[in-house]
Structure 1
Amino acid sequence: MPKTLFYILPVVFAIFVYWSMDNTQQPLEWDHSPEQILQLADQLITEGRELDDLVASTADNASFKNTIAPIAHLENVQARISNQITFYQHVSASKELRDASNEADKKLREFSIESGLREDVYKAIHAVYENELDKLEGEDKRFLEKVHRQYERNGLNKPENVREQIKNLKQKLSTYALEFSKNLGEETEHIWFTKEELEGVPEDVVAQFEQENGKYKMTFKYPDLFPVLKYAKNPETRKRAFVGDQNKVKENGPLLKQAVETRAELAKLLGYENFSEYILEERMAKTPKTVMDFLVDLRDKLKPLGKQEIQNLEKLKQKETGDLEYYVWDHRYYHNKMLEEQYQVDEKQISEYFPLKQTIERMLAIYEKIFQLRFKQVENPKTWHSEVQQFSVWKTDSKEEFVGYLYFDLHPREGKYGHAANFGLAPGYIDVKTGRKVYPSTSLVCNFTRDLAKKPSLLKHDEVVTFFHELGHGIHDLLGETKYARFHGTSVSWDFVEMPSQLLEYFCWSKDQLKFLSGHYETGEALPDNLIDSLIKSKNVNGALFNLRQLHFGLFDMSLHTSVDGKVDMDRLWNDLREEVALVKNGGQTTTGYASFGHLMGGYASGYYGYLWSQVFAADIFYTKFKEDPFNVKSGLEYRRKVLEKGGSQEEMDLLVDLLGRKPSSDAFLQELGLQKASN
């Protein structure tokens, strides 16, 4: 999940905020031309250099007020413009706008690198750090600590020639990341199948495929790919779909390889043993050893259960085909078959109870109750695409108070970001000149099917879970109550950022909430008890294999970034690790799935472990505060105020201790995975 597009650039950009009579804030405007996007980027950069000059000039009499406060203020006011103009590349239907947005992103990243290596600016900041740190408190102190550390981690304590090398390496990494992302966004690869080859795939899915000469075009977008992998009876169809998806965007493979080598070189210049050591210094885990101990311990605990799960799936395949060989492209199909045959979970039938429009309304109602919020849909919104929905969001626990704007962009289209993610469009903060709160905007970007002529878009249960997950990020982004944009909402440690969204996933497995969420698209009836009971029983079916798959990704990531020189045989590592850790056979296929592993170029380098790491905290909070009563408003408000509203303004462990009354425990997480019995 790319969680935000916020770049910390010390720039000046005056934004006049228009306030309406009811104390709401006018929404963002989305009428930029390609030329305006590039002009805004240039203006941000020009004014950024002016600010750097101003800060550098304070070196002899540097203080928080004349040195740090201007940086903080200008980070605040420029964030929404930089976020917005770089967001178009992920969602605009216009290739010209996407290209301009990508170019603006490149310019801003390059300037950020240049700005972060100015020794004269660092000297002024360091003077304040030496003279005033102990006199500050709260967000002011944390801001100074973070800014000072940011410059030191850029190598400002290194000789000038080394700093120049650091600058060049960072600019290379920026270019690689942008190109990687653009290639993924522009990907249009596909496979043509006959109707016979698609036997078993739901008719409403096949009906959305483009047809030509009696064949059906399956793209690698999730609404096309996943049903084929899950339902196609022909194993060769599943194999072609899986291998094709794994091998898409071939040009990204060399980019990742170059990035990994460049990261290793950068870490060495900065005085670290490897890139992972450099990255984890700023995370909750702190060291590669802590992460590897966590991942290896979890792998060892899960492996026996995973082997048992594989054996059960192999028996299903043998019963159906007589073949005992179980391949990676078989997994979704036989997992789904097990759910249907042994747990009576018919995903197609269950999806009939989750029409998209109704699910949105009821999902928002759950968030409204738990967190005491109200969502008001904006009629005829002016956004980046006609399909986008916009909501104004309000707190309701005391008096009604405006929170910010939420956008839903839910359907696939050419050139659009192909997965599901939350993008922070504008952080909230307190304007230091007026003392008034500036409110945030955030967007969920997903790829659900569209309505058909005779049937609305129906969500599979796992898509409902995905929706709850991403809205968990969105709510975190909206509810921030911080002074500085730098700490707003999801601006927390990357191995904590998934926790709020993972916590909300649990709410998709509660009987009462499933009753409330569901309603058949024809009759309006809620999911019957037998389907709910079967669904809940199925929650952790093949759960060890699911988490071993996550461990494959996490260990692959750590193997790349603990390498001293970054020279790793990625093909071998990717494929061998999958067989060794995820326990599924590659069937002699060497695939390059790492070329579309966007996390490794989108902020999660040496950080993918965070998905598993933060589940420990999510499980502990849910079991402690919500398991007995998921609709508990008291717990919801306590969690909102002690965690969500704090953003990154305090150490994450301190937030957890404040909420739980103790340090977090892994007991609930292990219990959830079936690795530990519930304590009495």
Structure 2
Amino acid sequence: MSTESFQLLAHDQKYPTWDISPSQVKQLAKELAQKETELFDQIAKVTDPTIENTLQPFAQFFNENSFPENQLTFYQHVSTDKSLRDASTEAEELLDKNSIEQWSREDAFKTFEKLNAALEKATSTVDPESLRYVSKTLTSFKRNGLALPAEQREKVKKLQVELSNLKVQFSKNYNEDDGFICFTEKELAGVPQNVLEQFQKIEENGETKLKVTFKYPDIFPVFKYAENADTRKAANIAYGNRCAENDEILAKIIRIRYDIAKELGYDTFSDYVLEERMAKKKDTVLDFLDDLRTKLKPVAENNLKELKELKKADLEKRGLASDDNFYAWDFNFYNEKLLAEKYQVDNNKIAEYFPLQSTIDKMLQFYEIIFDIKFVKLTPQSNDTWHEDVQQYAIFQNISKGEIEHMGAIYFDLHPRTGKYGHAANFGLGPGYLKQDGKTRHAPVTALVCNFTKPTKDKPSLLKHDEVVTFFHELGHGIHNILSQTKYARFHGTSVERDFVETPSQMLEYWCWSKDEIKKLSSHYETGQQIDDDLVDQLIKTKHVNTGLFNLRQLFFGLFDMKVHTIDTKEKLSELNLFQTWNEMKDEVTLLPSDGNPTKGYASFGHIAGGYESGYYGYLYSLVFAADIYYTLFKKDPMNTENGVRYRDIILKRGGSKDIMENLEELLGRKPNSEAFLSEIFG
């Protein structure tokens, strides 16, 4: 099938539009909330519940309204219009409050209780995904306090509304952060010229300075290349103290989570969260993290020894006073120097081989081969995306078989701007589902939101290798959302156990460390030539350079998260000092002290505020599954379409419609194990 035919087929599809005013956002949110209330009213009136009169209308509502709701709340992360971002935040607060209200209704809960009891007694011919939906819905009600007396249930509801509002405010503060730090050009010695050119010049006390924002393309080069330790220190401390207004918000969030868990009968908030995770128990998580820390610490200490020697030699070479200490702001600088001097890896030179658009095009070709799919770039009209920089692609499946099936659309929003979400993430905007006719599917839409350097008049946007890995990772989430084919939106795509959700993306990162694949991805922005073998070989050797220190940093985040969510008494909660806990644990666990310069880094720890609470360990936990899948299916032949399609149809296609451990055992032909993970990390 020709490219032109795919283009015509893609443009025949119906995709969302993005033209809306702040007042419309608020009005639509009110209408959605009203519809949800009417749904629960309807469910509550059912006296003899069946799949047809209870589950089907219930599931249909959430099938059809997931995208409208997600679109309204998505604007706060990407819109250039502050009034629209504010309206989006208000919409989320309103919708969350109403949702909590409805999911706290005893009358609707009783209907589902009756339905579940009837299904358990009967020899049911109901499909497994519908049975799972009923069971999960009942669990959701119970986790909202529906098994509690009325007074206690009302208390839980109020706590949840307050918690929801705080989480939204935390996220808003983070997205709206416009912090910066200023340096003279002399203070920024060592930072590449092309980076210096992107900084805004301002006058401060009669002196020209460069404004370094806390956006990734600005601040990270300072961490990595500024030769002046005082500059790196100042940047590190300022960056660590951004969003300080979230300090008290997070403290309140943790207190409310404790209260909710106790009201629901759990020992700790972690017990409440982990009940719905693969790990199940806090002891499983803590044992995993403690064991990993024990194994990582000697590796990290060796990493540190080498970096200290490098620092000593560097200071001597530059005629500076010796310093036997190695601080948090030294790590990125000397890590970069180690890569350059020991491994001859110059990340700025490597970036020349990965111009953004060329790399994206080649990356999409990889995914096309592995999963037997086709990306078709669309030409958006003015209201087809939320910003002029956004790219849109349609995706089709089963190309080799000639059974071409439209799967959905994906958006790429890749450059930083004021008010935009500051990390890299995939937002599953609209889940797919089986329509009421039982034959046709509603196609999903998803969005990658990243913050890569913008192109200039002289150069395209050039990706560092770690940014290539980041894009590959986030695209993995996007593809999970697009290739999933569940009956219900409730289980679509990444709606899996939170401590598995990173596995598909982490597994795909391996392609960025495979020699043949790196070369195929590369194309020098001036000559078009592939990266040479020697540079690739040296790059691959750096995959686990300083892996001990890097993973201890991840471990610190996970341990801090568990620390604040495993508090089991009011006395311990009242004694919790986030500032002290964060800084003491950070120095102790990471082995990179701050020399008595504590920060409020937890105030910008977005994961812990919403989404990964008592779940950040999942980034390390899921690496075990990712390594096992890659080593078993792809290590010998990364571009094997047969294995890719098998993985696609067992893991990605099923989303959360089936227990993930059953899927893993089917895919691997055995229970997953940690052998590949340990081999990968420790050799």
Same fold (TM over 0.5): yes
Deviations 1:593-649 (A, max 9, x none): 000000011211000000000000000011111111111111111110110001000
Alignment partner of 1:44 out of 32, 42, 67: 32
The 2-side partners of 1:626 and 1:362 are apart by 19
2:514 match: 510
The 2-side partners of 1:612 and 1:174 are apart by 27
Alignment partner of 1:101 out of 64, 88, 95: 88
- Give the C-alpha shift of residue 133 in structure 1: 3.6
Q: Does 1:121 align with 2:108?
A: yes
- Kept in 2, the 8 Å contact 1:410–1:444? The answer is yes
Alignment partner of 2:42 out of 51, 54, 58: 54
2:392 match: 390
The 2-side partners of 1:401 and 1:23 are apart by 14
Once the two structures are overlaid, the 10-residue window that deviates more, 217-226 or 427-436, is: 427-436
The 2-side partners of 1:23 and 1:145 are apart by 39
2:241 match: 247
- Give the C-alpha shift of residue 21 in structure 1: 7.6
Q: Show structure 2 runs of 5+ residues with no match.
A: 1-7, 316-321
Alignment partner of 1:625 out of 622, 625, 633: 633
Alignment partner of 1:154 out of 136, 140, 144: 144
2:583 match: 575
- Kept in 1, the 8 Å contact 2:10–2:394? The answer is no
The 2-side partners of 1:602 and 1:473 are apart by 18
2:319 match: none
**Other structure's SS at 1:414 match:** coil
- Give the C-alpha shift of residue 202 in structure 1: 1.0
- Kept in 2, the 8 Å contact 1:25–1:439? The answer is no
The 2-side partners of 1:315 and 1:329 are apart by 16
The 1-side partners of 2:441 and 2:133 are apart by 18
1:406 match: 410
- Give the C-alpha shift of residue 455 in structure 1: 1.1
Q: Does 1:288 align with 2:290?
A: no
Alignment partner of 1:166 out of 156, 165, 169: 156
1:662 match: 670
- Kept in 2, the 8 Å contact 1:276–1:561? The answer is yes
Correspondences of 1:539-558 after superposition (within 5 Å): 539-558=543-562
1:4 match: none
- Give the C-alpha shift of residue 24 in structure 1: 5.1
Specify the code of the residue in structure 2 equivalent to 1:163.
R
The 2-side partners of 1:630 and 1:22 are apart by 29
The 2-side partners of 1:380 and 1:138 are apart by 40
Alignment: residue pair count: 655
Alignment partner of 2:59 out of 72, 77, 99: 72
- Kept in 1, the 8 Å contact 2:11–2:378? The answer is no
The 2-side partners of 1:280 and 1:141 are apart by 22
User: What is the TM-score when the length of structure 2 is the normalising length?
Assistant: 0.95
- Give the C-alpha shift of residue 42 in structure 1: 0.6
- Give the C-alpha shift of residue 137 in structure 1: 3.5
Q: CA RMSD in A?
A: 1.2
- Kept in 1, the 8 Å contact 2:627–2:676? The answer is yes
Specify the code of the residue in structure 2 equivalent to 1:201.
V
- Give the C-alpha shift of residue 434 in structure 1: 6.0
1:521 match: 525
1:195 match: 185
**Other structure's SS at 1:425 match:** strand
Deviations 1:74-95 (A, max 9, x none): 1100001001010000000001
Specify the code of the residue in structure 2 equivalent to 1:164.
E
The 2-side partners of 1:53 and 1:519 are apart by 59
Q: Does 1:606 align with 2:614?
A: yes
Check 1:21–1:637 CA distance in 2 against 1; reply closer, same or farther (3 A cut).
Answer: closer
- Kept in 2, the 8 Å contact 1:23–1:402? The answer is no
- Kept in 1, the 8 Å contact 2:423–2:451? The answer is yes
User: What is the TM-score when the length of structure 1 is the normalising length?
Assistant: 0.95
**Other structure's SS at 1:481 match:** coil
The 2-side partners of 1:132 and 1:49 are apart by 26
Q: Does 1:537 align with 2:541?
A: yes
The 2-side partners of 1:269 and 1:604 are apart by 21
- Kept in 2, the 8 Å contact 1:64–1:132? The answer is no
Specify the code of the residue in structure 2 equivalent to 1:371.
F
Specify the code of the residue in structure 1 equivalent to 2:324.
L
Specify the code of the residue in structure 2 equivalent to 1:32.
I
The 2-side partners of 1:23 and 1:638 are apart by 29
**Other structure's SS at 1:673 match:** helix
- Kept in 2, the 8 Å contact 1:328–1:585? The answer is yes
Give the percent of matched residue pairs that are identical in Structure 1 and Structure 2: 51
1:443 match: 447
The 1-side partners of 2:10 and 2:514 are apart by 37
| Aligned structure 1 segments of 4 or more residues deviating by more than 6 angstroms | 20-23
Specify the code of the residue in structure 1 equivalent to 2:369.
K
**Other structure's SS at 2:358 match:** helix
The 1-side partners of 2:148 and 2:455 are apart by 58
